[in-house]
Amino acid sequence: MRNRQTNFIAKAAPILLAALVLSGCAVGPNYHRPAVQAPTVFHGPEDSQQPEAQSASVADLPWWQVFHDSQLQELIRTALKQNYDLQLAVERVAAARAQLGITRANQFPQVTLDPVFSGGKSDQNIKSNVFQLAGDVVFQVDLFGRYRRQTEAARAQLLGTQDAQQTVVLTLVSDVASDYFLLRDLDLQLQITKETVRTQEDSVKLTKLRLQHGVATTLDVLQARQVLDVANAQIPDLERQIGQTEDAINILLGKYPDNVPRGMPLGIQASDGWTWSETLPPQLPTGLPSQLLERRPDIREAEQNLVAANANIGVAKAMFFPQISLIGSGGAAFGHSQFAGSHIPAPLGVGTYAAAATQPIFEGGALRNNLRYAKSEERQALIGYQQTIQRAFGDVSDALIGYDKYHVVRERQEQSVKDLQESVNVSLMRYRGGTSNYLDVLDSQRSLFNAELTLAQARNNEYQGLVQLYKALGGGWK
């Protein structure tokens, strides 16, 4: 029996070898990256386009070297472990990897075995015990590269899914950082508002005391309460925004709504001005524009979609050609039959092999339209790739302009707060000296309160600009 199996394998081996040799070509276009006319410099502030700033990029830094707040770093680490969107992205990669394995399996022979054991005793007192083993081999000869193109498309889809996962990581880290800076900004606004309430309560007490001594009017007292009432009305709204921002951060962390621990405050007000927790430079290096094509995961994902669509054209073209199948089958049996004291051997083995071809003749235009569909999908993928690149450069330009101008706005707003603080001091001095009415004090205090809130928002905008620039450049979210 073993000799017969060896003979069968020896006969089938040349056929399989020939099939592998014939599978050396593949119809359809090979992928070549399309030429992209990328800008030579990013559109933004002039200082960000200096040649010495082009060799390096802030996007090459990992996020923990960009955001120095230790509490923010811990929040980001938690999000990367527990966020549900990221977990889904990881599973999509695993599914795409399994799909690649399924598709690639079509390039290999399909072997099945069918073992059977039988035995018994007949009416003529014939006893038998026979073990049968049958096997089939089916191999689709990939003469025109249909299955190889399908595998190429599946591999590109896997790589695209991995790039999509990196996009989720990029978005997740930037969202956590953005919401955290917003939270610290709201904390600062709440702090400014509560300090304004305390200051205005003292002012109202002083005005009432002056009224009792006949050096102020009831109108002065009412005017003094105006800023206090406005500040008191803003406290619950700021607390609402803080609570909702904390909820948003916890959802990103894969947790239920809860409080969020704080790290460094956004800024501290001192007698000589504001002290900020971090020093943000006016300009950041951006790197070469050509590096953006490799750094941004959404661009890489769009290119992998183009690779897959290009391979599918080859699949559609291969459908026009014959589909060749090699089929082999064989079997063997051993055992014995006992009759009248003698043993009769069972048949030992058989084997067959064949080749078959299927050629489409008339499909009602299905194959032709399938090819048209594949080409249209490839053109759509190319347009999407070009559009993604265009939007990426738009994101970088917006982020560069925003970061630069937010920095200028914060500096000027800081100076405005200093001037208004001096105005409040002068107006109070004039009012106490009797040379002006309380309306002047009220106007300067109201302006100072609004200017301080605007300054807090300007500082938050500066942080948000940093986040958006790092994200737009495809930062190193390692």
Spatial CB neighbours of 474, under 8 Å, sequence gap ≥ 6 = 59, 170, 292, 295, 296, 297, 299, 392
The pLDDT value given to residue 331: 74
Separation CA 109–CA 96 (nearest Å): 23
Question: What share of the chain has pLDDT > 70, as a percent?
Answer: 88
Closest CA to 313 of 106, 108, 145: 145
Instruction: Write out pLDDT tens, residues 420-463.
Output: 999 999 998 988 888 888 788 888 999 999 999 999 999 999 99
Instruction: Write out pLDDT tens, residues 351-390.
Output: 788 888 888 888 899 999 999 999 999 999 999 999 999 9
Residues forming beta bridges with residue 265, ordered by sequence position: none
Separation CA 411–CA 280 (nearest Å): 12
**pTM as predicted:** 0.87
Closest CA to 71 of 270, 210, 239, 253: 253
The pLDDT value given to residue 5: 45
The pLDDT value given to residue 55: 67
The pLDDT value given to residue 353: 80
Q: Which residues of the chain have pLDDT under 70?
A: 1-24, 47-55, 122-125, 271, 333-349, 477-478
Angle CA 352–354–360, to nearest 5: 155
The pLDDT value given to residue 9: 46
HSE on the CB side for 22, CA within 13 Å?
Answer: 18
Q: Which residue has the tokens 């498309």?
A: 153
Cβ-contact 100, 155 below 8 angstroms:
yes
